[in-house]
Structure 1
Amino acid sequence: MLEDDEYHDVTIEVGDDPYVKIFRAHVVILNYRSPNLRKIFSTNKKSDETLTHIKLPNILPEIFQIILRYIYGGKLSLREYDTSDIVKILIAANELGLQELIPNIQSFLIKNKATWIEQNFNMIYRTSFEADSFSNPKLSSDPSNYSNDDYNILKNTLQHCIPLIRLYNLTSKEFLNNIFPYRKILPENLYIDLLKIFLDHDYRPQTKEIKVTKEINTNKSIDSKIITHQHAELISKWIDRLENTNELNNLYKFRLIFRGSRDGFTPEKFHEICDNKSYTIAIIKVKDSHEVLGGYNPIIWESRDCNSVSHSEFGKTKDSFIFSFNKDDIKNHILSRVKDVDYAIDNYRFHGPSFGRGDLIIYGGTERSFNNCTSRCKILSYEKQIREAVGYFAVEEYEIFQINI
């Protein structure tokens, strides 16, 4: 079909002068396979019967040819290409939003081309930060002009870096000039601690600085009423994007921070305990079944109001995932990674730990239990449906664990 010029309905101008090539293709196929091309087509609709014409100046023609064959055929043998070309294919896949292809290329490079990556680290570093997914819209140099959305963007970008900054070692002048103007992105307890330190030199901080080391679990037990050590091992592999058959070198320590039967099942209790905590894993036991559902949230939980216009109740991350187990058979599982990163985490204050626009939503309960079937899973923002049943379900128990990355 790719070679059939007769029925094409779009021309694509690929490359930049003087290296430009025109490709002919079919909108229906490109729409289905590439969400980014779908967006471009939606803004270039023709009211007459003339062909749609779009430009992709940032992709080399020879690389787009490879990508186009993959889009039509669904196959791509990376071993046929030089490493530098594989990197260019990865960049093009990112620009076109081919989310199913990106992790496979990344995994191939890491496993098979580690020496090349090390030798060409400067190029990889520069290329990474040229990608849109590594950057945010430019912010003003004056934080007094920031909107709430600007602060949220900055907060989401830096939240994993803030714990690594030696804030307690700053001078009062450094804190006043460099930290205080951006105080809105700091966790509240950390900000209060810093104020007390710089106003009272005898004060000892309550917030502990995070060690820049990964916390490894050498103990085979886990404090859970729902999952076992084997479940934790599999989830650890998913966090590190390892295949199920890969050997696990580092099992994260799952530290229980919330349990419904102990702390209460209400959304208020969940947010009271879990807000401003990152790298958390939610484990949910479905009532009257062997089903275990869950999700991984690498960014902080927050309590937000629902906004149908800005959708500000959602947290953005590309690393979250949801999953399901049969409690008695660990091999019977489903892993579903986020595909719509703008809607990865549901921070609506009247929901418990929830993911996507309905992919896994935990509605409110009482202090002692969930007494109704109001939680649900409906695929929208993640790759796969994690429950066979699409209706509502009741929660018997749920737990939140935190890990140190």
Structure 2
Amino acid sequence: MTFKFFDKLSQDFSELLNDKKEYNVVIEVGKEENKKSFTAHSVVLRYRSSYFYKELENAPANKNHIKTINKPNISAPLFEIILKYIYGGILNIEDKDTKTIYELMINTNELELKELTRKLEIYLIESKDSWLRTHFSLVYRSIFDSNEFKDLKKFYNDIIVKYPNLIFDSNDFTSFQETALVSILKRDDLKVEEIKIWDYVIKWGIAQNPTLPTNSKEWSKENFEALKITLKQCIPLIRYFHIPSEDIWKKMKPYKKILEKQLWNDIIQHSMSPNEPVTSLVLPARIISNSELPSRTISTPELATKANEPFSTIINKEHVAELSSWVDRKSIIYSLANIPYEFQLILRGSRDGFDPKTFWKMCHGHSATIVVAKVTGTDELVGGYNPLEWDNLTEDKYMETNDSFIFSLKNGNVQNSVLSRVKYSHGALYYFNSKYQNIYGPEFGRGEFMMKSQVSDFTQDRLCQCDINPLFGAKYEKPIRATSDEFSIYDYEVFKIIKKQIPNCTIR
């Protein structure tokens, strides 16, 4: 038998922090008039923080055997919160604004309090994603060169793909680190016209050389050489051979001296004779988004297809093969060459909006549909298949079918897909009347996969869920998530699946 008294232990150590009798460390934080000193005990600091362990090894002691550590970059209010956590193992952030929580995360990372840093990182992603988007430049620049914050970096990299102007058009774009800019330029899925990328790179390079004349026509050879040196990591990443000829002459020619002579000659040759081979490396064209096109509305089951639109931004062909096999109740997954269905996009949240009403408006009249949602802050892809027609004119009622299912898909850190078929057909899906369609999107079972928002935006409040509540009776076989916690949606898509005309379809 083991008895554990963690609450009492935490309380005792918290009281020890206020004991001024036997302290042997002074930590001075803040600057000038905001400077403040805290007393602490080396034995606690060393074993709670590897940062303090190293600092105390090197810090000299005075005649009273007290060591002093200076941390001017941490404010006194923040350090007081951190010190209470070091001693008591408790951090209460309920009354803290988001910027304070962000600063706590940065400072605890510096002090190598990894467990707490990780908790704060996940909290920001899951609960404060709108603040993270609004303060993109501030956060991205502070985490980029760190080896930590892998989930935050993934969160922002996903945003960069969809909304690159958050970076390029930000007021502090020109103060971005070179390494951060290079990592962005390397992306094949950066959805910006190449000539605009060229313009942004030139703008950034000029900002790093404030002594350059304002008018490039007045530049000397040395001026161009300075810009060339500044952009030496960026220049090879531009997709020059995918820039229209008129832009080459209008926007690139004034800066041709920063390019190698062979590259410039190849660019000109390609613009005049696209089929002729060139010596320079030709990088593939980037994937350009249609996100700026106006949203469309579908009032009939016929689908309008947008030109050059990717079939999905959150699932791949392997997922399509797996989902198709589940629709057909196959025990073996279809091969990629023999997928019997086409997945035609009806709705994409990042393109058409995240208002629940949008779901009911655009999916009305469509049958045989698959909803796939990406959970904010994780690699999870969850969703459901509905063989019935969505109907936004119905009264509140359960819809009956034996063929629906809910699922989670293998993706990133998620190692295995989960399939959960309906077991009580009379409660397979719930259709909401118009009164509630501004709050509820699709609901499979009794909240076993449900999208919900009180602010008409699935990305803004954590009300979506995948929860099997035994009090209400499970309508599906098993849960599709390891947790019943509510979550917000990063993005979601709805597909209509249409049978292909394939004479002989085999499975593997």
TM-score of the superposed pair, with normalisation by structure 1: 0.41
TM-score by length of 2: 0.34
